[in-house]
């Protein structure tokens, strides 16, 4: 059942991503595809931060592992992270904010591992969710952090204390610092 469902989702996603006004494109999903043609259980996604948010200039990659009992069990989503010394940082480049960001500064994302804390990816998962709707939910999480269930306590504490400007400034700093220009 997993492969049949994943093939159906892949067909739908492929049709949607070529349309500029599709719900995926409008919600910041730039890429959503299997890592290789022969394996439907490893996917990658590329997302853009929501317009009007402190994440607006960032682009991030997600790695998605689909379990064999999908859609009964949820896939595992994580942001692809990289260390500063392994990256070609270009924070002084005028195009840097349009490259790929190597860290996700968010209260519900582990800054080191990229693990995401989002209820629909865990205890609230149902087979009604798809890979595409899950990725859209992750994009929406960027603009609606939940500081009461943090994986990044420092950012969560800024929100809990009501320091929205401090939060926004710190997020923008990390996006600039950990963005690489892509050719």
Please check whether residue 118 is in contact with residue 106, taking contact to mean a CB–CB distance below 8 angstroms: no
Q: Is the pLDDT of residue 183 over 70?
A: no
Domain range enclosing 18: 2-180
Q: Is-catalytic flag, 117?
A: yes
Candidates 17, 56, 117, 170; catalytic one: 117
- Peptide linkage before 71 cis (omega within 30 of 0): yes
Q: How far apart are CA 148 and CA 145, in angstroms?
A: 9
> What does the mean pLDDT of the chain come to?
90
Q: Could you tell me the pLDDT band of residue 93, with boundaries at 50, 70 and 90? A: very low
pLDDT in tens, 156-174: 999 999 999 999 999 999 9
What does the pLDDT read at residue 98?
57
φ/ψ of 76, rounded to 5, equals -100, 125
Burial 77-99 (b: 16+ CB within 10 A, else e): bbbbbeeeeeeebbeeeeebbeb
* CATH code, 139: 3.10.110.10
pLDDT of residue 97 exceeding 90: no
Helix (H, G, I), strand (E, B), or coil: what is residue 47? strand
pLDDT tens digits along 4-34:
999 999 999 999 999 888 889 899 999 999 9
pLDDT tens-digit map of 123-156: 999 999 999 999 999 999 999 999 999 999 999 9
Provide the number of structural domains found in the chain: 1
């Amino acid at each position: 059942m997993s492969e049949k469902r994943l093939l159906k989702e892949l067909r739908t996603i492929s049709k949607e991503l070529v349309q500029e006004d599709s719900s995926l494109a409008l919600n910041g999903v730039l890429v959503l595809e299997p890592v290789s043609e022969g394996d439907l259980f490893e996917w990658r996604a590329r997302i853009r931060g929501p317009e009007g948010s402190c994440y607006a200039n960032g682009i991030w990659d997600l790695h998605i592992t689909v379990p064999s009992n999908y859609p009964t069990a949820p896939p595992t989503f994580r942001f692809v992270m990289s260390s500063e010394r392994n990256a070609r940082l270009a924070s002084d480049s005028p195009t840097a904010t349009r490259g790929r960001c190597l860290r996700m500064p968010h209260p519900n994302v582990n800054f080191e591992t990229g693990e995401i804390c989002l209820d629909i990816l865990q205890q609230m998962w149902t087979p009604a969710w798809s890979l595409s709707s899950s990725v859209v939910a992750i994009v929406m999480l960027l603009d609606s952090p939940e500081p009461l269930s943090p994986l990044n306590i420092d950012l969560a504490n800024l929100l809990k204390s009501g320091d929205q400007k401090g939060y926004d400034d710190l997020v923008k700093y990390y996006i600039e610092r950990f963005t690489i220009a892509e050719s």
